[in-house]
Amino acid sequence: MRRRLGHHRQHGKQGGVGGRGLSLKLLITVFVALLICTLSLLFSATITATDGSSAPYEKINVEKLWESADSGGWRPSSAPRTDWPSPPKETNGYLRVRCNGGLNQQRSAICNAVLAARIMNATLVLPELDANSFWHDDSGFHGIYDVEHFIQSLRFDVRIVERIPEIHKNGKTKKIKAFQLRPPRDAPISWYTAYALEKMKEHGAIYLTPFSHRLAEEIDNPEYQRLRCRVNYHALRFKHDIMKLSESIVDKLRAHGHFMAIHLRFEMDMLAFAGSVLSGVLALRDLLRPMDLCGDSILYSYNPIVVLNNHDGVDLCGDSILYSYNPIVVLNFVGLLLRAMGFDNSSRIYLAAGELFGGEHFMKPFKALFPRLENHSSLDSSEELAANAQGLIGSAVDYMVCLLSDIFMPTYDGPSNFANNLLGHRLYYGFRTNIRPDRKGLAPVFIAREEGQTAGFEEAVRRVMLKTNFGGPHKRVSPESFYTNSWPECFCQMETQNPADKCPSENVMQILHSQLESENMDLEIYNQSDSVISLA
């Protein structure tokens, strides 16, 4: 009995040690299994995030977008930071320019004309604005801008007269005939200081026509770039009635809270200069009609990028002309994009555009998503705006409303001077929020949606858009225009270790004013339009 008991006890003791060992092995096995599962989940999450499916994502704070973007300590400043002498008393001659294109193409040309006059030490004749060949707008500089403000604002930079004065010599009076030149596109400074200046000295005046994109944008001289900003953002002020009308529209929009401005580039004047585009759109319409995609079907419910993408094997998802200009595609793309970002049907939207190709018919699906849709016609019934809504005045009003809006969204940022200039002005105006769709990044997301992969669509849109810049300072990378992004030349920091970025003294303009007075220059010369120069 004892032996059995003892044997049993011994067996029991051995059995207890083996049980604990087994439990330890089991715990280790479970731990390893859990570790493997955890690593597998992490790896799977990484793969999921990479291929754009439902990984955790950062939401877009819509309320924050209604505010200005983070300035990063920068503020706009286009005042000179180095020695900037006043215009010499002696001029090399007179510079006339004809600024062609629409309002904002002309605006860039005016900035370039002032810079060209400074470079050549020329007296600038008030720039001529080309009468728009589609709308036949002959408003001219006096009809759009505050001329007196323009001349006085630039008195430290260039001498400006309203017309070339007559010459009085040997008892006779005659006019100077400007020698006409056609500048090369994006001409370097050397073209102006050599060839153009030579002709100016030879003839007394030169006439540059056409004058659009006729001076290189990228110039390795920050002071020259700052002069462009002084012209664009300070000297070029619209006439009082245009400013008053614009402010009235903004006040009506602001009475209901925040508002967003959207620029839709599909207007009749654009089509007049893009016949091939229109032909392509019409051909596309004929192609889609048998599939009932041109009526009130899928085109109004979804973005038909996948359909366009398969049109004749042409890539229409990225920077294609048809994708960019087709209004149904653009409006549905914008509507779905804004909804995915978190904007709801209470969002107030101002549509900056002239008469749309297709009219209200194209607006129905977008208006269903955002019923609080306005334009300058719906907010103002004045006869002046109604009569000039399609020309420079209408464009000027749209420009100011977009500039003052809480959020600006260009639907097409290719060769659109309106959108590009506004983006630059809003940056200078205080880093105001812009929504710039990354079309290349969003194309596969919308294609997947068209193919029925709707799960995770909004999250995928947000991931793409979170990588974009919403209006803060950012490096200018070609092909981005200087007029779209004048950072860092036209910005400065109060606290910085880099002298090139340090803000100039607050009294810099007073210093320039004192310099001008000390040289005994008569400021009235800038307002004289019928001066007579004696060469006797």
Question: Could you give the residue ranges of the DSSP H alpha helices within 342-391?
Answer: 360-369, 376-379, 383-388
What is the number of structural domains in the chain?
Answer: 2
Same-domain status, 187 and 274: no
Residue, of 497 and 360, whose pLDDT is higher = 497
Residue type, 98: R
Q: Which residue has the tokens 């499916």?
A: 53
Alpha-carbon separation of residue 119 from 84, 91, 92, 245, 324 (angstroms): 12, 12, 11, 37, 38
Residues 6 or more apart from 398 whose CB is under 8 A from it? 263, 352, 353, 376, 418
Distance from the Cα of residue 14 to its chain's centroid: 82
Residues 250/404, Cβ–Cβ less than 8 Å: yes
What is the domain range of residue 203?
94-167+175-239
| Length of the chain counted residue by residue | 536
Residues 130/97, Cβ–Cβ less than 8 Å: no
* 312 Rama sector, left if φ>0, alpha if ψ -120 to 50, beta otherwise: left
| CA–CA separation, 133 and 143 (whole Å) | 17
Starting from the edge strand earliest in sequence, which strands make up the sheet with 532-534, in order?
Answer: 172-175, 166-169, 532-534
Same-domain status, 250 and 267: yes
pLDDT in tens, 45-54: 333 333 344 4
Tell me the DSSP string of 460-510.
HHHHHHHTS--SS-----TTS-TTT--TTTTEEESS-S-GGGBPPPTTHHH
Which pLDDT score is estimated for 345? 94
Which pLDDT score is estimated for 478? 87
Mean pLDDT score, 509-524: 63
Q: Where does residue 154 rank: exposed (0-12), middle (13-18), buried (19+ CB within 10 A)? A: buried
Residue, of 391 and 73, whose pLDDT is higher = 73
Tell me if 23 is assigned to some domain: no
Q: In the beta sheet, which residues pair with residue 96?
A: 207
261's enclosing H/E stretch is strand 260-263
Residues 401/244, Cβ–Cβ less than 8 Å: no
Reported pTM: 0.76
Tell me if 38 is assigned to some domain: no
Mean pLDDT score, 466-495: 94
Tell me if 419 is assigned to some domain: yes
- Residue 524 predicted with pLDDT over 90: no
Mean pLDDT score, 375-380: 81
Same-domain status, 230 and 271: no
Same-domain status, 182 and 208: yes
pLDDT in tens, 81-122: 999 999 998 999 999 999 988 889 999 999 999 999 999 999
Tell me if 435 is assigned to some domain: yes
pLDDT in tens, 138-184: 789 999 999 999 999 999 999 999 999 988 777 788 889 999 999 99
Q: Where does residue 223 rank: exposed (0-12), middle (13-18), buried (19+ CB within 10 A)? A: middle
Phi, psi of 456 (to 5 degrees): 80, 10
Same-domain status, 452 and 481: yes
pLDDT in tens, 264-321: 755 444 444 444 444 444 444 444 444 333 333 333 233 333 333 333 333 333 333 3
Tell me if 233 is assigned to some domain: yes
Which pLDDT score is estimated for 247? 93
Residue, of 57 and 71, whose pLDDT is higher = 71
Same-domain status, 366 and 353: yes
Q: Of the residues 239, 264, 292, which one is the last residue of a structural domain?
A: 239
Tell me if 291 is assigned to some domain: no
Distance from the Cα of residue 178 to its chain's centroid: 36
Tell me if 502 is assigned to some domain: no
Tell me if 331 is assigned to some domain: yes
If DSSP codes are grouped into helix, strand and coil, which group holds residue 433?
strand
Q: Over the chain, what is the mean pLDDT?
A: 77
Same-domain status, 208 and 259: no
Same-domain status, 480 and 339: yes
Alpha-carbon separation of residue 201 from 47, 62, 83, 116, 289 (angstroms): 68, 58, 26, 15, 63
Greatest CA span in the chain, whole angstroms?
152
Q: Quote the tokens at residue 122.
A: 């020329």
- Give the torsion through C-alpha atoms of 210, 403, 242, 389, to 10 deg: 70
Q: Which of 227-241, 348-362, 385-399 has the lowest mean pLDDT?
A: 348-362
Distance from the Cα of residue 344 to its chain's centroid: 24
Same-domain status, 234 and 253: no
Residues 6 or more apart from 264 whose CB is under 8 A from it? 327, 330, 331, 351, 352, 353, 356, 411, 412
Same-domain status, 253 and 186: no
Q: Quote the tokens at residue 27.
A: 């715990």
Residues 504/223, Cβ–Cβ less than 8 Å: no
Same-domain status, 234 and 270: no
Same-domain status, 215 and 328: no
